Structure 1
């Protein structure tokens, strides 16, 4: 399955969603199309998983290397670092993510949307668990909701940057900092920040 996902990611990057074929992906992964379809019901399902798998891996790696015990200032720095990394990831994969949105719009079998993607669901679950581990007391905003809103804010601001931020409004660095501040302040809606657990 990992070979198929890697081959699909390479093929989608090279050819885009419309140009990539399951036959070419199967050849690149050294499997048959029948084997490919045992794991993925459609090209759209394969595309979604190939795109969001790196996001899941990125989060797991980040949690391992940055989510350490610390005071509120360490939490703020770690949150800022992660938001920067998420912005970079979305920026590097904007064309692929746009293709995913277009593919979903024209795929009647994709009614559940990206929330049905296993790795994205895991990404949201891990983010909510990490956020919950940092907080004490009742939540003003449920971490399950907050992690999705934060992701959507970064996704929209990065993917639609040219639509939202006209030339001359702000530099790239100012836009990145504004996104970071906005998301960090939103996450701060749950003010009872405690020490980060594991």
Structure 2
């Protein structure tokens, strides 16, 4: 295996390690994954693996969290762009919920791996790292807050709205096969119901006094 590794460039070795790590983390979760198995699948020695990634946490972030972060940032950029188009509240709510649902659905495997890692050790999830999920939610919250305020609903609490809505859509998108079955024809109905919840809870809610 060491000889195989020497025939590859550093970039090729790193890519092989990331592919192998992504597969092992998806199969076994963070706690069950072993760096020895990852190295074997990548055709590397553990020593070579650790030369590129000093710890299993670093490898997890590079193989699982970073790809998720990149697609999440693309989703966020598109939502922010749509939020600036002066769309009506119901259209913006549909854009947010439907886009978030499809993003979470398409990245279900990575998300389940991330959630399992968080259950094992919250620090693995990147809570205090740049680009963490918490930071992404803060950025999304700012975009929603701006959109809500522009529609005269500044009393609605964007922090709670974003996080609770995210949790609701996350649950529906990631656990949909378990809760609702595998029928993809039901997806428009699921998204429609989620949108109705958001519209009723945010756009049609009276502001609280003193908030």
If the length of structure 1 is used for normalisation, what is the TM-score?
Answer: 0.67
CA distance in 2, matches of 1:5, 1:80: 40
User: How much has 1:174 moved relative to structure 2?
Assistant: 1.2
Q: For 1:21-49, what per-residue CA distance to the aligned partner results, in whole angstroms no more than 9, with x for missing partners?
A: 56478x8xxx96434338x8444444334
User: How much has 1:87 moved relative to structure 2?
Assistant: 0.7
Q: For 1:39-60, what per-residue CA distance to the aligned partner results, in whole angstroms no more than 9, with x for missing partners?
A: x844444433432331122212
CA distance in 2, matches of 1:185, 1:4: 51
If the length of structure 2 is used for normalisation, what is the TM-score?
Answer: 0.63
In structure 2, relative to structure 1, the CA distance for the partners of 1:6 and 1:160 (3 Å cut) is farther
2:93 is the alignment partner of 1:79? yes
Residue aligning to 2:146 = 133
Q: Which structure would you say has the larger Rg?
A: 2
User: How much has 1:5 moved relative to structure 2?
Assistant: 10
Contact 2:104 2:174 in 1 (8 A): yes
2:63 is the alignment partner of 1:51? no
Q: Which consecutive unaligned segments of at least 5 residues does structure 2 have? A: 1-11
Residue aligning to 2:109 = 95
Helix, strand or coil: the match of 2:155? Answer: coil
CA distance in 1, matches of 2:13, 2:171: 29
CA distance in 1, matches of 2:14, 2:91: 33
Q: Which consecutive unaligned segments of at least 5 residues does structure 1 have? A: 193-198
2:134 is the alignment partner of 1:121? yes
Aligned residues: 179
Extract structure 1 runs of 4+ deviating beyond 6 A: 3-9
